[in-house]
Amino acid sequence: MLGLSITALFVVYQMLTEPGVSREHLGMIVFIVLCPVSLLSIPFIDVEAGSRAFYFMWSLIGILNAILYGTITALIARRKKSLDSN
């Protein structure tokens, strides 16, 4: 849920800011760290915010980010469980 929520917050941020306005560099770096899957949107830079393609692209990125967070959580849980059993 966290991975999907982070992506949703960024989409809302994109919708509330004016197109073409430079976004805060630190904020973008933080978002890329929290949602590395968003780098997949680079080839689709010309997709207009609010269009069907925009929502489809960010829905897909949100799902992939949720999968990434789920995988990392499962790996940490497995590692913790194996350390606890030793």
Residue 50 banded pLDDT, cuts 50, 70, 90: confident
**Mind listing the pLDDT tens digit for each residue in 65-77?**
999 999 999 999 9
3-class secondary-structure state, position 18: coil
Residue 51 DSSP class: S
**Mind listing the pLDDT tens digit for each residue in 18-42?**
666 566 677 778 888 889 998 888 8
Look at residue 1 in the predicted model and tell me its pLDDT.
83
CA distance 74 to 27: 28
The yes-or-no verdict on residue 54 having pLDDT over 80 is yes
The number of distinct structural domains making up the chain is: 1
- Residue 37: count of CB within 10 angstroms of its CB: 20
Q: Which domain holds residue 53?
A: 2-85
**pTM for the whole thing?**
0.76
Higher per-residue pLDDT: 17 or 12: 12
